[in-house]
Amino acid sequence: MLVLPFPVVDPVLIEIGPMPIRWYALAYIAGLALGWAYARRLVAADALWGGTPRPSPASLDDLLAFVAIGVIIGGRLGHVFFYERAFYLAHPEEIVKTWKGGMAFHGGLIGAMLGMTAFALREKLSALTVSDICATVAPLGIFFGRLANFIKPEMWGRPSDVPWAMVFPGAGDVARHPSQLYEAGLEGLALLLLLAFAARRGALKRPGLATGLFGVGYGLARIVSEFFREPDPVSEALGDGLTMGMALSAPMVLVGAALVAFALRARRVPA
């Protein structure tokens, strides 16, 4: 059976004195920075919005800070409470050691939503409009985050004999799906293109539509990816083939579908 060698990458890109610069951290920084730049282009394009009130490009600097804080705190606490509660209750000092890995997307999403809501209240804007901006650019961050999971490596796939299967360090001698790359493609690139197309077709003129499409798209992509990803038998496997990722993603699909229906039925803001 053909097995691709795992491209081992040093998790530390460079060390500046006592401070190591890690690929894992750079992936999150790249996702936030590129998402911020993309968001500025979106809000500057009048044709995408019609008469829908939106934040100014300059105010997005503050939105980035609100969302970044929410993602980091929410992602870490989500991992702690959703996946490894017993370990962190026994070792609470490990919670702050984010450089060791362990960020939950669904926790980061909750944190980002709180940050977006706080920003929308401050700017006196619709929370759905702010959420639409973030939803449209979020797949960029997801893409880089999944690449970080691959480089670390963590969250590897189930055993497989596909020609592109890999043997991951720390996962035994069994060839596995590179499920992190599947998620980067589905939850990242594919969803990014879908939402970019929707924005071009007027989705941002209907508050909540891009957010709903993101919820449906991410939820379905994550559920599909879970069939190829090896769940932790203690913290992720729920029995009968169901995983924690599936259980947390299913409500996203339902809420997203409801938001899409609401946005399409609501009266569009006139230009």
- The rounded percent of the chain whose pLDDT value lies above 90 is 51
pLDDT at 98 over 90: no
Query: 195-218, pLDDT tens digit by residue?
Result: 999 999 999 999 999 999 999 999
Q: Is 201 annotated as a binding residue?
A: no
Mean pLDDT for 183-191 is 96
What is the pLDDT, as a whole number, of residue 84? Answer: 79
Distance CA 139, CA 95 (A): 26
Whether this prediction's pTM lies above 0.85 is answered by no
Query: 235-253, pLDDT tens digit by residue?
Result: 676 777 788 889 989 999 9
What is the pLDDT, as a whole number, of residue 219? Answer: 96
What is the pLDDT, as a whole number, of residue 77? Answer: 86
Q: What is the DSSP letter of 177?
A: -
Q: What b-and-e string marks burial along 68-87, b requiring 16 or more CB atoms within 10 Å of the CB? A: bebbbbbbbbbbbebbbeee
Distance CA 24, CA 43 (A): 29
Provide the CB-side half-sphere exposure for 224 (13 A, CA).
13
Choose the weakest-confidence range: 63-77, 98-112, 120-134: 98-112
pLDDT at 267 over 70: no
pLDDT at 3 over 90: no
Mean pLDDT for 149-165 is 89
Going by pLDDT thresholds of 50, 70 and 90, the confidence category of residue 271 is: very low
Mean pLDDT for 184-193 is 96
Whether residue 169 is preceded by a cis peptide bond, meaning omega within 30 degrees of 0, is no
Going by pLDDT thresholds of 50, 70 and 90, the confidence category of residue 131 is: very high
pLDDT at 165 over 90: yes
Backbone angles phi, psi at 161, to 5 degrees: -115, 20
Between 233 and 50, the more confident residue is 50
Number of CB atoms found within 10 A of residue 240's CB? 5
